[in-house]
Amino acid sequence: MSDVPHLRFPEFSGEWEEHTLSEYLEFKNGLNPDAKRIGSGLPFISVMDILSEGVINYDNIRGKVDATDKEIECFGVKDGDLLFQRSSETLEDVGRANVYMDNRTAIYGGFVIRGRKIGNYAPLFFKYLLATPLARNRTRRMGAGAQHFNIGQEGLSKISLYFPSIEEQRKIAGFLTLIDERIATQNKIIEDLKKLKSAISKYLFARKDLLETTIC
Protein backbone atom coordinates (compact mmCIF):
# COMPACT_ATOMS: atom_id res chain seq x y z
CA MET A 1 0.00 0.00 0.00
CA SER A 2 1.27 3.48 -0.86
CA ASP A 3 2.22 5.69 2.08
CA VAL A 4 1.14 8.78 0.13
CA PRO A 5 -2.54 9.61 -0.54
CA HIS A 6 -3.75 10.12 -4.12
CA LEU A 7 -5.29 13.52 -3.25
CA ARG A 8 -3.25 15.97 -1.24
CA PHE A 9 -2.87 19.66 -0.42
CA PRO A 10 -0.01 21.00 -2.60
CA GLU A 11 2.04 22.43 0.27
CA PHE A 12 2.67 18.99 1.77
CA SER A 13 5.06 16.27 0.62
CA GLY A 14 6.74 13.19 1.98
CA GLU A 15 5.30 9.87 3.06
CA TRP A 16 2.77 9.28 5.78
CA GLU A 17 4.22 7.20 8.60
CA GLU A 18 2.61 4.01 9.90
CA HIS A 19 2.05 3.92 13.67
CA THR A 20 0.06 1.76 16.05
CA LEU A 21 -2.71 3.40 18.06
CA SER A 22 -0.78 2.58 21.23
CA GLU A 23 1.83 5.16 20.20
CA TYR A 24 -0.80 7.89 20.46
CA LEU A 25 -3.33 6.56 22.96
CA GLU A 26 -3.41 4.81 26.33
CA PHE A 27 -6.52 2.64 26.64
CA LYS A 28 -8.79 2.06 29.63
CA ASN A 29 -12.24 0.52 30.06
CA GLY A 30 -15.06 2.62 31.50
CA LEU A 31 -17.08 2.89 34.70
CA ASN A 32 -19.88 0.44 35.54
CA PRO A 33 -22.03 2.21 38.18
CA ASP A 34 -25.13 0.72 39.78
CA ALA A 35 -28.48 1.88 38.44
CA LYS A 36 -29.34 4.18 41.36
CA ARG A 37 -26.42 6.45 40.47
CA ILE A 38 -27.60 7.00 36.92
CA GLY A 39 -29.61 10.10 36.01
CA SER A 40 -27.87 12.94 37.86
CA GLY A 41 -24.37 14.25 38.29
CA LEU A 42 -21.66 14.55 35.64
CA PRO A 43 -22.25 13.89 31.94
CA PHE A 44 -21.87 10.14 31.31
CA ILE A 45 -20.65 9.10 27.85
CA SER A 46 -22.31 6.02 26.35
CA VAL A 47 -22.22 4.22 23.01
CA MET A 48 -25.07 6.45 21.78
CA ASP A 49 -22.83 9.49 22.17
CA ILE A 50 -20.05 7.82 20.22
CA LEU A 51 -22.42 7.05 17.35
CA SER A 52 -23.98 10.52 17.24
CA GLU A 53 -23.22 13.04 14.51
CA GLY A 54 -20.42 15.45 15.27
CA VAL A 55 -17.91 15.40 18.10
CA ILE A 56 -18.73 14.75 21.76
CA ASN A 57 -18.75 17.75 24.07
CA TYR A 58 -19.89 18.39 27.65
CA ASP A 59 -23.29 19.79 26.64
CA ASN A 60 -24.40 17.15 24.11
CA ILE A 61 -23.81 14.04 26.25
CA ARG A 62 -27.14 12.31 26.90
CA GLY A 63 -26.59 10.57 30.25
CA LYS A 64 -25.48 11.59 33.75
CA VAL A 65 -23.90 9.73 36.65
CA ASP A 66 -22.99 10.43 40.27
CA ALA A 67 -19.25 9.79 40.54
CA THR A 68 -16.73 9.94 43.37
CA ASP A 69 -13.55 12.00 43.17
CA LYS A 70 -11.56 8.79 42.66
CA GLU A 71 -13.85 7.70 39.82
CA ILE A 72 -13.53 11.11 38.20
CA GLU A 73 -9.76 10.76 38.35
CA CYS A 74 -9.85 7.23 36.88
CA PHE A 75 -12.69 7.55 34.37
CA GLY A 76 -12.72 11.22 33.45
CA VAL A 77 -12.20 12.33 29.86
CA LYS A 78 -10.06 15.23 28.72
CA ASP A 79 -10.02 17.38 25.61
CA GLY A 80 -8.67 15.33 22.70
CA ASP A 81 -9.36 11.88 24.18
CA LEU A 82 -10.81 9.26 21.81
CA LEU A 83 -13.78 7.09 22.83
CA PHE A 84 -14.37 3.65 21.28
CA GLN A 85 -17.44 1.43 21.18
CA ARG A 86 -16.40 -1.68 23.06
CA SER A 87 -19.28 -4.03 22.21
CA SER A 88 -21.76 -4.28 19.34
CA GLU A 89 -24.45 -6.63 18.08
CA THR A 90 -22.88 -6.40 14.62
CA LEU A 91 -19.26 -6.68 13.56
CA GLU A 92 -19.80 -3.62 11.37
CA ASP A 93 -20.10 -1.29 14.37
CA VAL A 94 -17.52 -2.72 16.76
CA GLY A 95 -14.82 -0.23 17.66
CA ARG A 96 -16.60 2.83 16.28
CA ALA A 97 -14.91 5.96 17.58
CA ASN A 98 -15.54 9.59 18.40
CA VAL A 99 -13.53 12.34 20.03
CA TYR A 100 -14.18 14.44 23.15
CA MET A 101 -13.66 18.13 22.44
CA ASP A 102 -14.19 20.04 25.69
CA ASN A 103 -12.14 21.18 28.68
CA ARG A 104 -14.86 20.28 31.18
CA THR A 105 -14.74 16.88 32.87
CA ALA A 106 -17.12 14.10 31.87
CA ILE A 107 -17.21 10.36 32.69
CA TYR A 108 -17.38 7.41 30.28
CA GLY A 109 -19.27 4.14 30.74
CA GLY A 110 -18.40 0.46 30.78
CA PHE A 111 -19.32 -0.22 27.15
CA VAL A 112 -16.77 2.42 26.13
CA ILE A 113 -12.98 2.33 25.94
CA ARG A 114 -11.14 5.60 26.42
CA GLY A 115 -8.04 6.37 24.41
CA ARG A 116 -6.17 8.89 26.56
CA LYS A 117 -4.05 11.22 24.48
CA ILE A 118 -0.35 10.51 25.01
CA GLY A 119 1.00 11.40 21.55
CA ASN A 120 0.94 14.49 19.36
CA TYR A 121 -2.07 14.42 17.03
CA ALA A 122 -4.92 16.60 15.83
CA PRO A 123 -8.02 15.18 17.57
CA LEU A 124 -10.44 15.90 14.73
CA PHE A 125 -8.08 14.33 12.20
CA PHE A 126 -7.90 11.20 14.35
CA LYS A 127 -11.70 11.00 14.40
CA TYR A 128 -11.88 11.19 10.61
CA LEU A 129 -8.99 8.74 10.21
CA LEU A 130 -10.70 6.12 12.39
CA ALA A 131 -13.78 6.26 10.14
CA THR A 132 -11.88 5.49 6.92
CA PRO A 133 -12.36 2.10 5.20
CA LEU A 134 -8.79 1.04 6.05
CA ALA A 135 -9.23 1.86 9.74
CA ARG A 136 -12.63 0.19 9.93
CA ASN A 137 -11.33 -2.98 8.24
CA ARG A 138 -8.38 -3.22 10.63
CA THR A 139 -10.62 -2.54 13.61
CA ARG A 140 -13.15 -5.21 12.61
CA ARG A 141 -10.36 -7.78 12.35
CA MET A 142 -9.70 -7.24 16.05
CA GLY A 143 -13.36 -7.82 16.94
CA ALA A 144 -14.44 -11.18 18.32
CA GLY A 145 -17.63 -12.82 19.53
CA ALA A 146 -20.72 -14.77 18.56
CA GLN A 147 -23.97 -13.00 19.49
CA HIS A 148 -22.08 -9.83 20.42
CA PHE A 149 -18.83 -8.59 18.94
CA ASN A 150 -16.25 -7.09 21.27
CA ILE A 151 -12.94 -5.33 21.01
CA GLY A 152 -10.52 -4.82 23.87
CA GLN A 153 -7.69 -2.54 24.81
CA GLU A 154 -5.09 -4.95 23.44
CA GLY A 155 -6.85 -5.21 20.09
CA LEU A 156 -7.11 -1.45 19.71
CA SER A 157 -3.46 -1.04 20.69
CA LYS A 158 -2.32 -3.27 17.81
CA ILE A 159 -4.18 -1.41 15.05
CA SER A 160 -1.75 0.43 12.78
CA LEU A 161 -2.66 3.38 10.56
CA TYR A 162 -0.88 6.01 8.47
CA PHE A 163 -0.31 9.49 9.89
CA PRO A 164 0.99 12.66 8.21
CA SER A 165 2.69 15.56 9.97
CA ILE A 166 0.67 17.40 12.61
CA GLU A 167 0.37 20.39 10.26
CA GLU A 168 -1.15 18.24 7.51
CA GLN A 169 -3.43 16.58 10.06
CA ARG A 170 -4.81 19.98 11.06
CA LYS A 171 -5.26 21.03 7.43
CA ILE A 172 -7.21 17.87 6.59
CA ALA A 173 -9.32 18.11 9.74
CA GLY A 174 -10.19 21.74 9.05
CA PHE A 175 -11.22 20.99 5.47
CA LEU A 176 -13.41 18.00 6.39
CA THR A 177 -14.96 19.92 9.29
CA LEU A 178 -15.92 22.71 6.88
CA ILE A 179 -17.66 20.15 4.64
CA ASP A 180 -19.47 18.67 7.64
CA GLU A 181 -20.67 22.13 8.64
CA ARG A 182 -22.06 22.72 5.15
CA ILE A 183 -23.77 19.33 5.20
CA ALA A 184 -25.36 20.21 8.54
CA THR A 185 -26.56 23.54 7.12
CA GLN A 186 -28.08 21.85 4.06
CA ASN A 187 -29.74 19.20 6.23
CA LYS A 188 -31.29 21.97 8.34
CA ILE A 189 -32.62 23.66 5.20
CA ILE A 190 -34.07 20.34 3.98
CA GLU A 191 -35.76 19.70 7.34
CA ASP A 192 -37.24 23.21 7.36
CA LEU A 193 -38.57 22.72 3.82
CA LYS A 194 -40.13 19.39 4.82
CA LYS A 195 -41.90 21.08 7.73
CA LEU A 196 -43.08 23.89 5.45
CA LYS A 197 -44.39 21.41 2.89
CA SER A 198 -46.21 19.45 5.60
CA ALA A 199 -47.83 22.59 7.00
CA ILE A 200 -48.91 23.86 3.58
CA SER A 201 -50.24 20.44 2.55
CA LYS A 202 -52.21 20.12 5.76
CA TYR A 203 -53.74 23.56 5.24
CA LEU A 204 -54.58 22.98 1.58
CA PHE A 205 -56.21 19.59 2.12
CA ALA A 206 -58.00 20.82 5.24
CA ARG A 207 -59.56 23.64 3.17
CA LYS A 208 -60.59 21.12 0.51
CA ASP A 209 -62.32 18.96 3.14
CA LEU A 210 -64.07 22.03 4.55
CA LEU A 211 -65.28 23.01 1.07
CA GLU A 212 -66.72 19.55 0.40
CA THR A 213 -68.47 19.54 3.78
CA THR A 214 -70.01 22.95 3.09
CA ILE A 215 -71.35 21.91 -0.35
CA CYS A 216 -72.92 18.74 1.03
Q: Is 134 helix (H, G, I), strand (E, B) or coil?
A: helix
Helices 123-130 and 133-141 pack at an angle, to 10 degrees, of: 70
* Dist. CA 45–CA 60, nearest whole Å: 10
> Tens of pLDDT along the chain (216 residues)?
456 677 888 898 888 999 999 999 999 999 999 999 999 999 999 999 999 988 999 999 999 999 999 999 999 999 999 999 999 988 888 999 999 999 999 999 999 999 999 999 999 999 999 999 999 999 999 987 766 899 999 999 999 999 999 999 999 999 999 999 999 899 999 999 999 999 898 878 875 555 555 544
**Which sequence spans correspond to the domains of the chain?**
17-163, 165-216
* Dist. CA 175–CA 177, nearest whole Å: 5
17-163 has which fold? Answer: Adenine-n6-DNA-methyltransferase TaqI; Chain A, domain 2 (3.90.220)
Q: Is residue 117 within 8 Å of residue 165, measured between CB atoms?
A: no
Q: Kind and range of the H or E element at 211?
A: helix 166-215
* Dist. CA 118–CA 99, nearest whole Å: 14
